[in-house]
Structure 1
Amino acid sequence: MRIHPRDALFAGEAAPISLPVVDHYSGSEKLMRKSLALQAARGPVFDVTLDCEDGAQVGAEEAQVRLAAELLASPDNRYGRVGVRVHPVDHPAFAMELQILAAAPVAPAYLMLPKVDSRAQLDRGAASVQAAWGARPAPPLQALIETHGGLREVEAIAAHPALQSLSFGLMDFVSGHHGAIPRTALSLPGQFEHPLVARAKLAIAAAAHGHGKVPSHCVVTELKSPAKLQAAAERAAREFGYTRMWSIHPDQIQPILDAFAPSAAEVDEAIEVLEVAQDTQWGPIRLRDQLHDRASYRLFWSLLQRAHQTGQALPAQVRERFFS
């Protein structure tokens, strides 16, 4: 009897949360509908986040969240991978948004809470979400770290049991330094090279991984340069440890998928190791003169999951064995 990696490799501990590697944001009705149609056509290789914070016009917050609730229930939400960014926990619109979303016929896949400034604020937000949903399971939470307070308490925030992902908010973080971080840190390659920004990115990624959560990298605003975007996504994934990244234009989705996908050689090695390990009941093995055990199996399982999440064409027997 074959034991699945989920059951064999994480005995006594929770398996790390796994999410699609692209989080695609849209704010206007036209772009929301276009994003949902694109996801319905391409499959659940990316999430769609309907933006009720920055996407809403001032004074039109209720209309925006009602539109989001309508779209959650639309036929184009085919895979249940549509989330909603609401206003910050202490914003007057927050409670209203929760009330409308909790009454919607289809729940969001997650709620993104922006400007999370402390663990105490996150606790209040999570309690409000659960109260709105009552006896029903509440949607998982994602938190946007973009303030000094959020960065100071990032470990405690990452540990919250309702949280599944931490995102970095580059623009608010830079503006919160009141000119001490130059404008170049909002662009490429500056956002990877300014020490304060790089420190924040690394702290968020480390805290997320330390608590089994998904670190999600910030936006790249250079919309007309797929090569620059892909290079940035590769740095985010391979140098900074991020396993998810924001997209703000449909043309950004595929370059991010390509950058976060493991190489063909990595996938081939992962398949070989995992198949032999599973066939030998996950004990230590020697393969091509290298020793492997459960520590390396967990790495290879993560690589294979990411190949599946990014839409790579895996052999039929591999899909049946591990993802059916």
Structure 2
Amino acid sequence: MPAHPRDVLSTAQAGAVALPVCDHYSGVESRMRKSLQLQAEMTAEVGTCVFDVTLDCEDGAPVGGEAAHARLVTELALAAAPEARVGVRVHPVDHPAFEADMAQIAGQAGHRLRHIMIPKVESVDDVAHAERTLLRHFAPGLPLHALIESPAAVHRAFDIAAHPRVQSLSFGLMDFVSAHAGAIPADGMGIEGQFKHPLVLRAKLEIASAAHASGKVPSHGVVTEFNDTAALRRAAQRAARELGYTRMWSIHPNQIRPIVEAFAPDERQIDQASAILLAAAQADWAPINHGGVLHDRASYRLFWQVLQRAHATGRTLPAPAAAWF
């Protein structure tokens, strides 16, 4: 029997981390509950979990009500189904509520979480601070996600991504634009401007490159125009196809399916990847000629990643290739 692709094509770097392609944020109690319910429903429908739910303390907690909100988030995480994928965004490391967030949420619900998002990360020192705080309250290997939101943080993105505890880098568009003291106009936050302004585009590319350099997941930030589904789909496609992102934030339930669809391989890509990998397996993973094009393990690795993404987004695979999953 030919060797399994994951045994032949694994690398220490490329594709080292696999996460759902959509990360859905909610911070209001009713919306957090609905998000968890929607995750369960879509998992049953598709057969796999296609998005994470990140419960939000930073933007979700009312001023003065941070402790109560952290308790609510803890209760929701503990009450979620065992198979649910739940993360939490805590306050920044320099916020007065950070330590209490970590003690409450990681200390009591860390075993039910998939990640903790640390916002406004400025340097690897912030990650180290967050890790030390995490370990004081919850010892096992819970990943940290880092939100890059300033020009200085973009400059240090490679160092941040290289930290062993970091699993994913996200781009905080709105804070990044605001950090430029008006030098980037407001439309740099918009659905078109964020893909055109050179400083914003450069930041997105830098973050994606930094994440891939360390085998981490680059996660594209928000699109605030949540009622324009067609525009959201175009933005997600650009993030996935042009900028190298493998994950994207959702801030409204209507954004989840378009993001999943945009990041999923299409039928042509799935068929091509399946045909090439099946032929490669029959050749014991030696180089092959497929349709007049040479393929070897470098291209096999890419096509295996296509099939992994297809499976993770609930796409139907041809029967022979489906047996690999």
Q: TM-score range by the shorter chain?
A: over 0.9
Are residue 116 (structure 1) and residue 121 (structure 2) matched? yes
Task: For residue 213 of structure 1, report the CA deviation from its aligned partner.
Answer: 0.7
Of 195, 208, 215, which aligns to 1:205? 208
User: Are 1:21 and 1:45, in contact at CA under 8 Å, matched by a contact in 2?
Assistant: yes
Residue by residue, what CA displacement relative to the aligned partner does 1:113-169 show, whole Å, maximum 9, x if unpaired? 0000011121111122122213xx131011000012211111100111111110000
Name the CA distance, whole Å, in 2 between partners of 1:151 and 1:212. Answer: 17
* Paired letter, 1:6: R
Q: 1:286 matched to which residue of 2?
A: 289
Work out whether residues 13 and 215 of structure 2, in 8 Å CA contact, stay in contact via their aligned partners in 1. Answer: no
Indicate yes or no: 2:64 matched with 1:59.
yes
Q: SS in structure 1 opposite 2:289?
A: strand
Q: Distance in 1 between matches of 2:143 and 2:31?
A: 24
Describe how 1:253-292 pairs up with structure 2 within 5 A.
Answer: 253-292=256-295
Structure 2 CA distance for aligned equivalents of residues 11 and 193 of structure 1: 34
**Mapping 1:77-88, distance limit 5 Å:** 77-88=81-92
1:10 paired residue number: 10
What secondary structure is seen at the aligned counterpart in 2 of 1:6? Answer: helix
Query: Residue 77 of structure 2 aligns with which residue?
Result: 72
Structure 1's consecutive aligned runs of 4 or more residues displaced over 6 angstroms after TM superposition are none
Letter in 1 for 2:230: A
Which consecutive unaligned segments of at least 5 residues does structure 1 have?
none
**Are the aligned partners of 1:86 and 1:94 in contact in 2 as well (CA < 8 Å)?**
yes
Q: Which of 69, 80, 90 in structure 1 is aligned with 2:94?
A: 90
1:88-127 CA distance string (max 9 Å, x none): 1122211111111233254310000000001112111112
Aligned partners of 1:167 and 1:9: how far apart in 2? Answer: 27
Q: C-alpha deviations, 1:257-297, integer Å up to 9, x for none?
A: 11111121100011111122223332212222221111001
Whole-angstrom CA distance in 2 between matches of 1:67 and 1:317: 46
What is the aligned partner in structure 2 of residue 306 from structure 1?
309
Return 305-314 or 107-116, whichever deviates more. 305-314
Counterpart CA distance in 1 for 2:319 and 2:27 is 38
Partner of 1:159: 162
Aligned to 1:20: 20
Aligned residues of 1:107 and 1:139 also touching (Cα < 8 A): no
CA distance in structure 2 between the aligned counterparts of 1:42 and 1:27, rounded to whole angstroms = 20
Q: Secondary structure at the match of 1:283?
A: coil
Contact 1:129 1:138 in 2 (8 A): no
Q: TM-score, normalised by structure 1?
A: 0.94
| 3-state SS, counterpart of residue 324 of structure 2 | helix
Deviations, residues 23-75 of structure 1 (Å, cap 9, x unaligned)? 0000001000000000001111111100011111111111111111111122x
Q: What amino acid sits opposite 1:79 in the alignment? A: E
Q: Does the aligned pair in 2 maintain the 1:80–1:109 contact within 8 Å? A: no
Partner of 1:322: 324
Structure 1 residues 184 and 102: CA distance shift in structure 2, 3 A:
closer
**Distance in 2 (alpha carbons) for counterparts of 1:102 and 1:52:** 13
Q: 1:303 corresponds to which letter in structure 2?
A: V
Aligned counterparts of 1:11 and 1:153: Cα–Cα separation in 2: 25
Residues 216 and 244 in structure 1, CA contact (< 8 A), matched pair in contact too: yes
* Larger mean Cα displacement after TM superposition, 86-95 or 194-203: 86-95
8 Å contact 1:9–1:294 — kept in the other structure? yes
Shift of 1:6: 2.3
Q: Does the C-alpha gap of structure 1 residues 37 and 78 become closer, same or farther in structure 2, counting only changes over 3 Å?
A: farther
- Residue deviations 1:199-219 (CA, integer Å, cap 9, x gap): 100000111111111110011
Comparing 51-60 and 118-127, the one that deviates more: 118-127
Q: What 5-or-longer segments of structure 2 have no aligned partner?
A: 44-48
Q: Does 1:246 align with 2:249?
A: yes
Aligned pairs (5 A) from 1:150-229: 150-229=153-232
* Residue 104 of structure 1: aligned partner: 108
**Bigger shift: residues 307-316 or 87-96:** 307-316
C-alpha deviation, 1:84, in angstroms: 0.4
CA distance in 1, matches of 2:193, 2:12: 42
Tell me: CA distance 1:165–1:28, structure 2 relative to 1, closer, same or farther (3 Å).
same
Q: Corresponding residue for 1:127? A: 132
Say if 1:83 and 1:111, in contact at 8 Å, map to a contact too: yes
Partner of 2:46: none
TM-score, with structure 2 as normaliser? 0.94
Matching residue's letter, 1:86: V
Figure out how many residues of one structure are paired with residues of the other and give that number: 319
| Aligned-pair Cα RMSD in Å | 1.5
SS across alignment from 1:322: coil
